[in-house]
Chains A and B, each alone.
Chain A
Amino acid sequence: MSADNMKLTLKIWRQKSANAKGHFDTHTLEGVTSHMSFLEMLDVLNEQIINEQKEPVAFEHDCREGICGTCSLVINGYPHGPQQGTTTCQLHMRHFNDGDTITIEPWRSSAFPVVKDLVVNRDAFDRIIQAGGYISANTGQAQDGNAIPIEKDQANEAMDAATCIGCGACVAACPNASAMLFTSAKVSHLALMPQGEVEASQRAIRMVEQHDAEGFGRCSNITACEAECPKEISVEHIARLNREYLSASVGSKK
């Protein structure tokens, strides 16, 4: 177990703006306790930096309970840190030891340009969803919620895919910087629901087209994404996307 007054050396990527050249800054932080979350540790660091009248480290975060997908950070080489199935905001300092050196980097991918320090721009994900990650159902036209029964296991599988928080760890982890896990999670979620099946083939084609246009890499089934996904989304969904895409391209009339 770790101590309650840890001293850490932090190597943090600093980059003034998108086009500026980045570098690593080294900070020493004392008085870190094991109950702190990783981001609270960074809060303490920033307080220390601000008290020296300097510019704090920019990092993104919001809900701090692992659901909004805003937080990122590659910690010691691992997106969202070394704990499996955990977002950075849920990572606690008890998993580190006194005297540790921790390296913190932003997501690295051409499609996620750095905004500042550890903050990256993930607009590409929104555009992939806009390309077809929805069911075309206008408000107020819906039939009764129980009109179409859905097999429990199938609903569960759809939920497994729908649990994606859009954080981008899959891209950060992928040696190819591919966003196939993200894209497939939405395609798979909607294809598994009878309501979404209607548009399934066009959805797969349009979303993959957008995925490619954003400059993400090509999936080569390394499955690092699955290992690093904080929601532990399975690469089975990528297989389903491939299937949907194949049948949409080869099997459909268009």
Chain B
Amino acid sequence: MNTWLGRFLTSSIGKKVVMALTGLFLISFLAVHLVGNLQLLASDGGQAFNEYAYFMTHNPLIKFTSYGLYAFILIHAIQGIALWLKNRAARGSQGYAVKVNRTAGASKASVRMGALGTIILLFILLHMYQFWLQMKLGNTAMVGYDGGEQVKDLYTLVMGVYANPVFVGIYVISMIVIGFHLWHGFESAFQTLGLNHPKWTPLIKLVGRAYSVLVPLGFAIIPIWMYLAQQ
């Protein structure tokens, strides 16, 4: 790895930058994902959502982007685990006898990004299994609207999952975890990219915190809403 890129990517700052960039991409993905998913709340028997899902799975550009997304999730996760191992080694085997809160300047989440990230990874696996895999394996019923093409009825699939209060609970808790992860991740990404400014950093922090509350909240409303709607 004698090239500048190799040096950059193996350096501590280069690794951080990778974390920050992939993180920011995933953050922006969440917004897109949320906008689409909110269509589940439309009282149209799932038409809007199913057509949206069809579009998303058939547009070549979006398809291409989705592979990028999977790759970024993997890179973000693997890099994160590697950082966590490295930092544990740097800290040494002998910990402090008196433990104090070391997050005076940042959020409590900042010291638990590894744990939070692991939970999120497990959640993503579950999420992909429940929806993406089911869709791919073709166990989904087809449905047609207004004489149009037949599309997969993902709406019903989602309804089925959210009929189970256990899954609703898991989804809601996972969203809280994502909220904490974002709470640190959002502003941290800007700091890592060197975008720290006495005038603008407070604004970035504010936006980041609003984002990390509102977006997970938006996601969490969906299973709760759909669960209640079926009662």
In the bound complex, residues from chain B placing their C-beta under 8 Å from that of A173 are 102
B4 touches A235 (CB 8 A): no
How many residues on B have C-beta within 8 angstroms of the other chain's C-beta atoms? 42
Query: Given A77-B96, A242-B192, do A220 and B105 touch, yes or no (CB 8 Å)?
Result: no
Prevailing SS type, chain B contact patch = helix
Query: Given A178-B90, A218-B16, A224-B103, do A108 and B95 touch, yes or no (CB 8 Å)?
Result: yes
A111 touches B90 (CB 8 A): yes
| Partner of A235 from B90, B113, B191 at Cβ < 8 Å | B191
In the bound complex, residues from chain A placing their C-beta under 8 Å from that of B188 are 220-221
Q: What separation, in Å, do the CA atoms of A205 and B99 have in the docked complex?
A: 34
Query: Whose C-beta in chain A lies nearest to the C-beta of B92?
Result: A110
Which listed segment binds B: A33-41, A60-68, A141-149, A244-252?
A244-252
Chain A nearest CB, measured from B116 CB (Å): 12
| Partner of A245 from B13, B100, B187 at Cβ < 8 Å | B13
Q: Does A122 contact B (CB under 8 A)?
A: no
Query: Between A and B, how many residue pairs show CB distances below 8 Å?
Result: 149
A176 touches B103 (CB 8 A): no
Q: What separation, in Å, do the CA atoms of A109 and B89 have in the docked complex?
A: 9
Query: Given A226-B105, A227-B104, do A218 and B110 touch, yes or no (CB 8 Å)?
Result: no
Chain A residues packing against B (C-beta within 8 Å): 11, 13, 22, 24, 74, 76-78, 103, 105, 108-111, 173-178, 180, 205, 208-209, 211-212, 215-224, 226-228, 235-236, 238-246, 249-250, 254
- Having A176-B91, A222-B106, A254-B4, one finds 18 other A-B pairs with CB under 8 Å, namely A13-B97, A78-B100, A108-B94, A110-B90, A111-B90, A175-B87, A177-B87, A178-B12, A212-B12, A215-B90, A219-B12, A220-B110, A222-B102, A224-B104, A228-B104, A240-B194, A242-B192, A242-B194
